[in-house]
């Protein structure tokens, strides 16, 4: 079935390639360089599915946060609430909880060990890579499904450049973003970027008339780059983000579908987040070896308060405070850039190896304030339920090696392996005030270790095409739940084998780039977020069984004219729970994995035309479609297929530019996320409406 779909999709792409071949080869698509396997290389040489969203696309599509870029990667979605801290990537059916992600975001080589710090503003970002398939053989823990690899633009060493842009839109949206970059002498360069944003909420609280999910944020990034000589480079990057946002826009699923962007509740809360991160990167290139060191410090805090019953009744509220500090250090050796080891006239070896270390300190204090009679008709007084008061400290080390042997520059054999070991200590406490039931204090520790192998084969029948096949094993770390049912505080590792085959090709004298892949995933000891029946809105991780996923992906980019780019992608996923798998005590064997669209599809174009030597006009549009998906493991509620369209057009001169834009142009109503919520929600689920149609204008200056 998958082979047939792949043939059909390639056949559909053929007319675009033929059209491009008929035109004179005066323009070509740029070469895309990625660091999906830690060292920089042409994306066509990587034996894995990689979608690179470049700085050109980020600017052209008006992307502002990391999750905005997900539409360009097939079989990729993010499950996220309006609160910026809750954003979890899902590739090919694989996803997980914030504290134990299956897809880890790397920002300038630093892993975000908790997804609370992963979805940040795009300031001076050069590229975002969505690398699908297990990356544990190189990156270790919590990359079972892949990675999101974000790299910052290097400061300009040639001249001073900069820009200021001010987007304004409906819902009271106003922003300003600016950056400046340039050399400090001939051995140093600096860049500074900052922004400020505000908007009203999309959702109205009918009980008060107030908008609920408003946003208010500031963000900044500073970078210093030193190049003492041609072989050494040092970069220090500091970033800061401060969010002071409104409450979750959650309400009964049936109600928000009947009356979108309207809720009724007696209590209005907030969602705050602060992130501070510093990265120090050192790289040296020698004749026989290159060395790189990446040191990362990430500190974040969040505080949110919300109406826990999400009704007009004064029943329950929740206050949740979290904080986290992480330190990571990686040291890596590799064969020199563009100079692999020459084993013979026909055989070369490109290699890398290294060691990394992490330490993470996580704390949470969450209190549910329950009014009289909420817990039971026999409890006629208010109760404070602390669930949890938790401190979890983890540390670990990983050692990895990776080598690719090339034969006559046409055949590549790749082998990689990594060993990880980590220690986790937890102090957990849940209790009531007053003490209507015994407290549940837990003090525990555990050690986890894993070995992750990788094997890949690549063949280049021509200089412009690559066929590849790979097999990799990935894992998610075990650990402790801050709060869970007694006896379920700890959970074990999750493992998956992933097999993939694909083709990457450049056609029409460089005017068309195409790739296609077929994949199969089998994983066991599956970690699921299981609802706690005794704590509203709280979930914990449990190992529940296994699952399998099969699918296909196709990506196509074409530049038939110097003024026109065409792009598209398609992904299909068939992901089901395996036999003997239970979730919440219910047999879910054969059920669809939640938040896994049957398919994703994207089509788009970008066009520009010079009016004269000083002014260029341009336009862009993309339409992305998400197939139907389920909200829960039992498949009792779902989101049907929906489509979103974005357009923008404008003019730019040597210094000034202006444009108009619209997102979700046809005002599609959809609910991208909903969670089981028995008791307070009549439908059994609460959810949030997806972003409505928004429109506005942007103006700015570049130099």
Peptide bond into 308 cis (omega under 30): no
Percentage with pLDDT > 90 across the chain:
81
CB-CB contact of 33 with 43 (8 Å): yes
Report, as an integer, the average pLDDT of 157-170.
95
Gap between the Cα atoms of 132 and 47, Å rounded: 11
- Quick one: average pLDDT of 504-531? 91
CA dihedral 54, 58, 63, 65 (to 10 degrees): 50
User: Which residues have C-beta within 8 Å of that of residue 689, sequence separation ≥ 6?
Assistant: 202, 203, 249, 256, 260, 261, 669, 670, 671
State pLDDT tens for residues 418-457: 999 999 999 999 999 999 989 989 899 999 999 999 999 9
- Residue 312, CA atoms < 13 Å, CB-side half-sphere: 8
pLDDT at 529 over 80: no
Query: For residue 609, is pLDDT > 60?
Result: yes
Measure CA 270 to chain center: 24
Which residues partner with 541 through β-bridges?
529
For residues 251 and 243, the answer to whether their CB atoms sit within 8 Å is no
Predicted local distance difference test score (pLDDT) of residue 585: 78
CA gap 583, 546 in Å, rounded = 11
What is the DSSP pairing of strand 616-626 with strand 599-610?
antiparallel
Q: What is the pLDDT of residue 393?
A: 96
- Burial tier of 7 (Cβ tally within 10 Å: 0-12, 13-18, 19+): exposed
Centre a 10 Å sphere on the Cβ of residue 372 and count the other Cβ atoms it contains: 13
pLDDT at 9 over 50: no
Burial class (CB in 10 A: 0-12, 13-18, 19+), 631: buried
Rounded Cα gap, residues 202 and 577, in angstroms: 36
Q: What is the DSSP letter of 116?
A: G
- Tokens 């590229």 belong to residue: 127
Distance CA 319, CA 349 (A): 55
Neighbour-count burial of 370, counting CB atoms closer than 10 A to its CB (0-12 exposed, 13-18 middle, 19+ buried)? buried
pLDDT (0 to 100) of residue 23: 43
pLDDT 10s digits, 649-683: 999 999 999 999 999 999 999 999 999 988 789 99
Q: What are phi and psi of 25, to 5 degrees?
A: -80, 65
Q: What pLDDT band is residue 85 in, cutting at 50, 70 and 90?
A: confident
In this predicted model, what pLDDT tens digit does every residue of 214-241 receive, in sequence order? 999 999 999 999 999 989 999 999 999 9
Helix (H, G, I), strand (E, B) or coil at 21: helix
Question: Bridge partners of 365?
Answer: 321, 389
What homologous superfamily is domain 2-702 in, according to CATH? Answer: TonB-dependent receptor, beta-barrel domain (2.40.170.20)
Residue 576, exposed/middle/buried by CB under 10 A (0-12, 13-18, 19+)? middle
The CA distance from 600 to 591, in Å, is 20
Comparing 538 with 352, which gets the higher pLDDT?
Answer: 352
pLDDT tens across 277-332, in order? Answer: 999 999 999 888 999 999 999 999 999 999 999 999 999 999 999 999 999 999 99
Tens digits of per-residue pLDDT, 43-62? Answer: 999 999 999 999 999 999 99
- pTM across the whole model: 0.93
Strand 232-245, strand 270-285: pairing: antiparallel
Tokens coding 566: 């065409």
Nearest to residue 277, comparing CAs of 349, 210, 327, 312?
A: 327
Tell me: pLDDT of 13 over 80. Answer: no
Tens-place pLDDT, residues 340-398:
889 999 999 999 999 999 999 999 999 999 999 998 899 999 999 998 999 999 999 99
Q: Report the percentage of the chain scoring pLDDT > 70.
A: 96
Exposed (0-12), middle (13-18) or buried (19+): which is 34, by Cβ within 10 Å? Answer: buried
pLDDT in tens, 576-600: 999 988 887 788 999 999 999 999 9
pLDDT number for residue 2: 36
Q: What is the mean pLDDT of the chain?
A: 92
pLDDT of residue 26: 65
pLDDT at 513 over 70: yes
Reported as a pLDDT band with limits 50, 70 and 90, residue 480 is confident
Report the C-alpha gap between 305 and 366 in whole angstroms.
10
Q: C-alpha angle 216/250/362, rounded to 5°?
A: 65
In terms of pLDDT, which residue wins out, 176 or 543?
176
Residue 185, Cβ density class (10 Å: 0-12 exposed, 13-18 middle, ≥19 buried): exposed
């Amino acid at each position: 079935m998958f082979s047939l779909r792949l043939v059909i999709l390639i056949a559909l792409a053929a007319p675009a390639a033929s059209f491009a071949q008929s035109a004179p080869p005066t323009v070509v698509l740029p070469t895309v360089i990625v660091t999906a396997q830690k060292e920089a290389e042409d994306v066509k040489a990587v034996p894995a599915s990689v979608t690179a969203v470049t700085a050109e696309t980020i600017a052209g599509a008006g992307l502002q946060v990391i999750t905005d870029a997900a539409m360009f990667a097939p079989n990729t979605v993010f499950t996220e609430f309006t609160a910026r801290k809750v954003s979890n990537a899902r590739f090919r059916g694989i996803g997980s909880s914030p504290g134990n992600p299956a897809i880890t975001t790397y920002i300038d080589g630093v892993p975000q060990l908790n997804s609370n710090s992963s979805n940040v503003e795009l300031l001076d970002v050069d590229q975002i890579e969505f690398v699908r398939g297990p990356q544990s053989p190189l990156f270790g823990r919590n990359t079972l499904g892949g990675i999101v690899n974000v790299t910052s633009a290097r400061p300009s060493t040639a001249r001073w450049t900069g820009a200021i842009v001010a987007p304004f839109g409906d819902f009271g949206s106003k922003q300003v973003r600016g950056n400046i970059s340039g050399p400090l002498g001939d051995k140093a360069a600096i860049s500074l970027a900052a922004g400020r944003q505000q908007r009203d909420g999309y959702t109205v609280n009918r009980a008060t008339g107030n908008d609920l999910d408003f946003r208010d944020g500031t963000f900044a990034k500073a970078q210093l780059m030193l190049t003492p000589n041609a072989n050494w480079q040092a970069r220090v990057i500091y970033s800061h983000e401060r969010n002071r946002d409104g409450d979750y826009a959650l309400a009964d699923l049936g109600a928000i579908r009947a009356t979108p962007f309207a809720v009724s509740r007696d209590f209005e809360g907030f969602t705050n987040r602060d992130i501070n991160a510093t990265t120090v990167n050192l790289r040296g290139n020698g004749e026989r070896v290159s060395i790189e060191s990446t040191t990362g410090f990430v500190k974040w805090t969040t505080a949110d308060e919300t109406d826990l019953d999400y009704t007009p009744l004064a029943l329950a509220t929740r206050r949740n405070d979290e904080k986290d500090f992480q330190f990571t250090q990686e040291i890596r050796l590799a064969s020199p850039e563009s100079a692999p080891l020459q084993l013979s006239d026909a055989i070369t070896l490109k290699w890398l190896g290294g060691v990394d270390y992490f330490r993470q300190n996580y704390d949470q204090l969450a209190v549910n304030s329950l009014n009289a009679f909420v817990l039971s008709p026999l409890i006629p007084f208010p109760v404070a339920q602390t669930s949890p008061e938790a401190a979890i400290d983890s540390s670990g080390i990983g050692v990895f090696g990776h080598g690719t042997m090339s034969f006559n520059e046409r055949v590549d054999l790749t082998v990689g392996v990594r060993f990880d070991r980590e220690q986790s200590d937890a102090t957990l406490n849940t209790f009531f005030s007053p003490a209507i039931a015994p407290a549940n204090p837990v003090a525990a520790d555990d050690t986890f270790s894993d070995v992750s192998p990788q094997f890949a084969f690549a063949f280049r029948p021509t200089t412009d095409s690559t066929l590849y096949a790979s097999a990799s094993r990935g894992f998610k770390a075990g650990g402790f739940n801050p709060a869970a049912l007694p006896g379920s505080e700890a959970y074990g590792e999750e493992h998956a084998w992933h097999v993939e085959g694909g083709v990457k090709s450049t056609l029409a004298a460089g005017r068309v780039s195409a790739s296609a892949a077929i994949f199969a995933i089998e994983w066991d000891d599956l970690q699921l977020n299981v609802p706690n029946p005794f704590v509203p809105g709280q979930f914990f991780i449990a190992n529940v069984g296994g699952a399998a996923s099969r699918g296909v992906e196709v990506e196509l980019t074409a530049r038939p004219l110097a003024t026109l780019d065409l792009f598209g992608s398609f992904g299909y996923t068939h992901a089901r729970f395996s036999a003997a798998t239970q979730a919440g005590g219910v047999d879910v064997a054969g059920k669809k994995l939640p938040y896994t669209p049957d398919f994703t599809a994207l089509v788009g174009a970008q066009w520009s035309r010079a009016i004269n030597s000083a002014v260029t006009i341009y336009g862009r549009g993309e339409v992305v479609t998400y197939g139907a998906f389920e909200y829960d493991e039992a498949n009792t509620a779902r989101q049907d297929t929906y489509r979103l369209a974005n357009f923008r057009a404008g003019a730019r001169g040597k210094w000034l530019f202006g444009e108009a834009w619209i997102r979700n142009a046809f005002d599609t109503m959809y609910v991208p996320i909903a969670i089981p919520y028995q008791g307070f929600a009549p439908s059994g689920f609460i959810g949030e409406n997806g972003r409505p149609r928004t429109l506005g204008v942007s103006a700015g200056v570049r130099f």
